[in-house]
Amino acid sequence: MCTSLTTCEWKKVFYEKMEVAKPADSWELIIDPKLKPSELAPGWKQYLEQHASGRFHCSWCWHTWQSAHVVILFHMHLDRARRMGSVRMRVFKQLCYECGTARLDESSMLEENIEGLVDNLITSLREQCYEEDGGQYRIHVASRPDSGPHRAEFCEACQEGIVHWKPSEKLLVEEVTTYTSEASKPRAQAGSGYNFLSLRWCLFWASLCLLVVYLQFSFRSPVFF
Please give the helix or strand (H or E) that residue 166 lies within, else none. none
Predicted local distance difference test score (pLDDT) of residue 102: 60
Q: Name the residue among 194, 213, 191, 212 with its Cα closest to residue 202.
A: 194
Please give the helix or strand (H or E) that residue 92 lies within, else none. none
C-alpha 72/C-alpha 88 separation (Å) is 11
Q: Name the residue among 64, 63, 46 with its Cα closest to residue 55.
A: 64
In the three-class reduction of DSSP (H, G, I as helix; E, B as strand; rest coil), residue 89 is classed as: strand
Count helices and strands in the chain by DSSP H and E runs: 5, 7
C-alpha 147/C-alpha 55 separation (Å) is 10
Q: Name the residue among 107, 133, 121, 120 with its Cα closest to residue 33.
A: 107
What's the first-to-final CA gap in the chain, in angstroms? 102
Predicted local distance difference test score (pLDDT) of residue 31: 94
Buried b (16+ CB within 10 A) or exposed e, 197-218: eeeeeeeeeeeeeeeeeeeeee
For 37-55, how does the pLDDT look when each residue is reduced to its tens digit (9 = 90+)? 999 999 999 999 987 888 8
Q: Name the residue among 53, 121, 42 with its Cα closest to residue 87.
A: 121
At residue 189 the predicted structure's pLDDT band, cuts being 50, 70 and 90, is very low
Mean pLDDT (whole number) for 199-217 = 73
For 164-178, how does the pLDDT look when each residue is reduced to its tens digit (9 = 90+)? 755 444 444 444 344
For 63-80, how does the pLDDT look when each residue is reduced to its tens digit (9 = 90+)? 888 888 889 999 999 999
**Would you say the C-alpha torsion 134, 88, 28, 50 has a positive or negative sign?**
negative
Predicted local distance difference test score (pLDDT) of residue 41: 93
| Plot region of 121 (φ>0 → left; ψ -120 to 50 → alpha; else → beta) | alpha
Residue 153, burial from CB neighbour count under 10 angstroms (0-12, 13-18, 19+): exposed
C-alpha 189/C-alpha 89 separation (Å) is 51
**Mean pLDDT of the residues in the chain:** 78
